[in-house]
């Protein structure tokens, strides 16, 4: 149970999140965005959308046509900022980790998938290590039969948070941006989790590379 001091701290972070949401709304109006592969998304077929934490800008503000969606968010106070932003964009937030050892979070995400929710999560998040797919993602796909869809993104001009563990990319106003929806992956029951974790890793990187290439066209 949180103390009054902790509750006030979390309230402060939620206010930060609401402010960031307003900034994002303005920023999106200024971006020149190119999208590739959006036709692969079927709002009537829920999937597991994965991307690097570094590139979670578009998965957060995009997919506005999907109404039943949930995202994984860190339980930390910093995560409270993200949870507030996601709520504004129509997401439910599950606080926890996609590590296979975090059983409670995995169970909650699996339940949501079986209830028809689209799930979005940073494959290396919410706390890293960077560019390493958490095996819990493969486990969820095996248990539910839901497809994994890699998402890539890129900005022509951006600010990189070099001191952050994910070196987060944030676009400058009026820059060009690109989003790529990769090919869906199915994980058969009994699959080798390490092999599929590496395959997902490759497909997210491929989507990111295709997004970078779109900016050059």
| For residue 103, pLDDT beyond 60 | yes
DSSP-based three-state secondary structure for 144: helix
CB–CB of 185/148 below 8 Å? yes
Q: What is the pLDDT of residues 190-212, one digit of tens each?
A: 999 999 999 999 999 999 999 99
Percentages of the chain per state (helix, strand, coil), in multiples of 5: 45, 20, 35
Residue 12, both tokens: 């402060």
User: Nearest 10 degrees: CA dihedral of 67, 68, 71, 77?
Assistant: 70
Above pLDDT 70, what percent of the chain?
Answer: 94
pLDDT, the chain, mean? 90
**Is the torsion defined by CA of 193, 196, 198, 201 positive or negative?**
negative
Residue 193, both tokens: 């989790």
Indicate the pLDDT class of residue 22, thresholds 50, 70 and 90: very high
Looking at domain 4-214, its CATH superfamily turns out to be Glycerol-3-phosphate (1)-acyltransferase (3.40.1130.10)
User: How far, in Å, CA of 56 to CA of 121, rounded?
Assistant: 8
User: How far, in Å, CA of 115 to CA of 49, rounded?
Assistant: 16
* Phi, psi torsion values for 157, nearest 5 degrees: -125, 130
Domain spans of the chain, in order of start: 4-214
Instruction: Give pLDDT, residue 55.
Output: 94
Q: What is the pLDDT of residues 109-163, one digit of tens each?
A: 999 999 999 999 999 977 889 999 998 999 999 999 999 999 999 999 999 999 9
Q: What is the pLDDT of residues 48-70, one digit of tens each?
A: 999 999 999 988 888 888 889 99
Q: Is 57 exposed, middle or buried (0-12, 13-18, 19+ CB in 10 A)?
A: buried
Q: Which of 173, 181, 191 is nearest to 23 (CA)?
A: 173
Q: Which residue has the tokens 């578009």?
A: 58
SS (HEC) of 105-123: HHHHHHHHHHCCCEEEEEC
* Whole-prediction pTM: 0.90
- DSSP tag of 185: B
Q: Which of 157, 110, 124, 118 is nearest to 56 (CA)?
A: 124
């Amino acid at each position: 149970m949180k103390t009054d001091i902790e509750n006030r701290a979390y309230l402060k972070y939620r206010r930060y999140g609401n402010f960031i949401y307003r900034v994002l709304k303005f920023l999106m109006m200024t971006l020149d965005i190119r999208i590739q592969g959006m036709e692969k998304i079927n709002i009537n077929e829920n999937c597991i959308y994965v991307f690097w934490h570094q590139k979670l800008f578009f998965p957060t503000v995009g997919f506005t046509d999907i109404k039943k969606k949930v995202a994984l968010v860190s339980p930390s106070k910093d995560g409270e900022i993200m949870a507030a932003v996601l709520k504004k964009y129509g997401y439910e937030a599950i606080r926890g980790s996609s590590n296979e050892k975090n059983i409670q979070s995995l169970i909650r995400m699996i339940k949501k998938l079986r209830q028809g929710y689209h799930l979005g999560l940073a494959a290396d998040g919410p706390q890293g290590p960077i560019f390493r797919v958490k095996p819990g993602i493969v486990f969820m796909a095996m248990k539910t039969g839901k497809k994994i869809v890699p998402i890539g993104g890129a900005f022509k001009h951006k600010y990189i948070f070099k001191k952050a563990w994910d070196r987060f990319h944030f676009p400058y106003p009026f820059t060009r941006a690109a989003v790529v929806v990769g090919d869906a992956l199915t994980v058969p029951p009994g699959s080798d989790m390490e092999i599929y974790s590496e395959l997902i890793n490759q497909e997210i990187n491929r989507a990111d590379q295709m997004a970078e290439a779109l900016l050059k066209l």
